[in-house]
């Protein structure tokens, strides 16, 4: 490699490193703004500005789902193991919605501390297995439903 | 067979995804093949005097 | 060994080598896809959670893997083009950008078709994985645009290579996005330091399809560079002889 090529190599590496450093700095600064959803614990800790529309993420608490007969309304609770928030929603639910399922929902907290949702999305985990394997795990006391936070 | 095509009710999404992939991958494979054939035909049609 | 490498970088030699390999690679790729599609669509069992819808994984994940891998190859070719001014590397930057853009578009498109039934939404702007993959598509298009913006295609290739290198930071961002931020997109199933999170009956067809996508990319890249060489070297005698058959 001659001197000119060495210089070009140095320039190319410098450009890549420079841009990477700049982006890293930007990402660090924007850490807060890129947060996609809050957990019930974060809401309980008062990290969410009042009167704002935000995303809430958690697992559907066991035994918390109540469908209003004859309407699209449903009530359930989202939990992250430490805190739980009641959610009220009227509309289409994703196919994967059920107790223990990970959920990300968009809405606002009302005065009664209930999260009124305008959108409910299912967040599934990265695990894939046939039904028989899932059944075997459940019988062994390690049911795989839900997400790993 | 009908069950296979239905994909548990998700036929539109599953076959839509596979269809998309098929069109793009086959298309991208066809382009250089076709361009090469065209170049070859153009060349053989002309007798160049050296 | 270095001599063999420099011989390969001659367009004429590359054309000969590529022409010899292509028929075999093409047949292997076609057969491989037939096997992989049957494996993923028929043999693999349904998922306990997502049922049959999860089968999109066998085209979505390989597309996403390739979108990242091709960018890395493109950046590597860009480095060679910038430092050593190798013509073949300049061509490779452009052809990788075309194929990489398509893989990225496929990752996004199949992802949307998978997200709608399973998550309940086609797209979420606030999701770091989706956003960074979309930026990857813009980077690819930027590389193509820069290349075409110059009348001197050799200069255009080198300017495009600078963009390719600058954007390399996006690759680890895309990969770690699901770890660094709260996202709707789930975490890594395969590319992680832990045990893979997929049952072997589903993991093996996925790895096989990933390999087939890499084989496809190699084959089509070879074919595209080969025909590009024939076009660019058109006035050389060896090229005329090839065209006349």
Domain map (residue ranges) of chain B = 2-41
pLDDT digit string (tens) for B18-47?
999 999 999 999 999 999 998 887 755 554
> Does the pLDDT at position A33 exceed 60?
no
At what angle are helices C11-38 and C87-118 packed, to 10 degrees? Answer: 20
Instruction: Please check whether residues A61 and A80 belong to one and the same domain.
Output: yes
Residues A20 and A44 in one domain: no
Q: Which of C50, C168, C183 sits opposite A36 (nearest CB)?
A: C183
Please state the domain count of chain A.
2
Mean pLDDT score across all residues of chain C: 92
Domain that holds residue A119: 40-139
Domain segments of chain C as ranges: 15-244
Which pLDDT band, with edges at 50, 70 and 90, does C146 fall under? confident
With an 8 Å Cβ cutoff, the interface of chain B facing chain C consists of 4, 7-10, 13-14, 16-18, 20-21, 24-25, 28-29, 31-33, 35-36, 39-40, 42-44, 48
Determine the residue of chain A that is closest to C179 in CA distance.
A149
- Output the CA angle C90-C93-C94, nearest 5 degrees: 95
Q: Does residue A145 lie in a domain region?
A: no
Does the pLDDT of residue A110 top 70, yes or no? yes
Quick one: A84 and A122 in the same domain?
A: yes
Q: Whose structure tokens read 């960074």?
A: C132
Instruction: Say whether both A55 and A30 belong to one domain.
Output: no
Q: Does C44 touch chain B (CB under 8 A)?
A: no
Confidence at A148, pLDDT banded by 50, 70, 90:
very low
List Cβ neighbours of C70 (8 Å cut-off, separation of 6 or more). C96, C99, C100, C103, C217
Residue with tokens 């996609």: A36
Same structural domain for residues A77 and A125?
yes
Dihedral angle computed from the Cα positions of residues A131, A132, A138 and A140, in that order, rounded to the nearest 10 degrees? -160
Please indicate, yes or no, if residue A93 is contained in any of the structural domains.
yes
Average pLDDT rounded to a whole number, residues A98-118: 93
Q: pLDDT band at residue A8, thresholds of 50, 70 and 90?
A: confident
C-alpha C191 chain-centroid distance: 17
Q: Which two tokens stand for residue A22?
A: 């700049």
CATH label of the domain that carries residue A52: 2.40.50.140
Q: What is the mean pLDDT of residues C41-52?
A: 95
Residue C126, classed as helix, strand or coil, is coil
Does residue A77 sit in the same domain as residue A115? yes
- What 8-state DSSP symbol labels residue A120? E
The ipTM, to two decimals, is: 0.91
Q: Does residue B48 register a pLDDT over 60?
A: no
Using CA coordinates, name the residue in chain C closest to A10: C83
Quick one: A57 and A126 in the same domain? yes
Indicate yes or no: CB of C53 within 8 angstroms of CB of B13: yes
Do the beta carbons of residue A107 and residue C132 sit within 8 Å? Answer: no
Is C106 in contact with B10 (Cβ distance < 8 A)?
no
A73 and A91 share one domain: yes
**pTM of the predicted protein model:** 0.90
Q: Are residues A4 and A59 in the same domain?
A: no
pLDDT, averaged across chain A: 85
Q: Mutate which of A5, A12, A35, A42 to test chain C, going by most C C-beta atoms within 10 A?
A: A12
């Amino acid at each position: 490699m001659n001197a000119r090529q060495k210089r070009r190599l140095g320039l190319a590496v410098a450009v890549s490193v420079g841009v990477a450093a700049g982006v890293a700095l930007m990402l660090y600064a924007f850490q807060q703004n890129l947060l996609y959803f809050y957990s019930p614990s974060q809401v309980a800790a008062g990290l969410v500005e009042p009167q704002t529309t935000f995303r809430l993420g958690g697992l559907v608490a066991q035994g918390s789902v109540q469908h209003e007969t004859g309407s699209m309304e449903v009530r359930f609770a989202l939990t992250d193991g430490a805190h739980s928030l009641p959610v009220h929603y009227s509309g289409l639910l994703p196919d994967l919605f059920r107790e223990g399922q990970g959920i990300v929902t968009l809405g606002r907290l009302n005065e009664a501390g209930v999260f009124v949702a305008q959108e409910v999305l299912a967040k599934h985990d990265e695990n894939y297995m046939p039904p028989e394997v899932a059944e075997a795990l459940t019988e062994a006391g390690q049911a795989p439903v839900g997400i790993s936070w | 067979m009908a069950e296979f095509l239905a994909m548990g009710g998700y036929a539109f999404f599953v076959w839509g995804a596979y269809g998309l992939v098929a069109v793009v991958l086959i298309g991208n494979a066809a382009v250089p093949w076709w361009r090469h054939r065209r170049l070859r035909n153009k060349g053989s049609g002309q007798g160049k005097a050296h | 060994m270095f001599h063999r490498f420099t011989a390969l970088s001659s367009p004429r030699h590359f054309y000969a080598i590529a022409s010899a390999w292509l028929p075999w690679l093409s047949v292997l790729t076609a057969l491989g896809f037939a096997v992989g599609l049957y494996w993923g669509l028929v043999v693999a069992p349904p998922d306990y959670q997502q049922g049959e819808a999860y089968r999109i994984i066998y085209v979505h994940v390989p597309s996403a893997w390739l979108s990242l891998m091709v960018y890395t190859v493109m950046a590597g070719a860009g480095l060679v083009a910038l430092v050593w001014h190798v013509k073949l590397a300049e061509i490779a930057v452009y052809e990788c950008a075309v194929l990489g853009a398509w893989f990225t578009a496929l990752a996004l498109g199949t992802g949307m078709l998978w997200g709608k039934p399973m998550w309940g939404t086609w797209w979420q702007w606030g999701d770091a994985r989706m956003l960074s993959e979309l930026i990857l598509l813009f980077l690819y298009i930027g590389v193509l645009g820069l290349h075409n913006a110059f009348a001197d295609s050799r200069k255009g290739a080198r300017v495009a290579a600078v963009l390719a290198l600058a954007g390399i930071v996006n690759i680890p961002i895309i990969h770690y996005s699901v770890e660094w931020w709260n996202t709707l997109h789930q975490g890594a199933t395969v590319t992680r330091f832990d045990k893979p999170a997929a049952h072997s009956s589903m993991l093996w067809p996925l790895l096989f399809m990933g390999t087939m996508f890499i084989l496809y990319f190699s084959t089509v890249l070879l074919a595209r560079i080969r025909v590009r060489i024939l076009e660019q070297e058109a006035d050389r005698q060896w090229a005329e002889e090839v065209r006349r058959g």
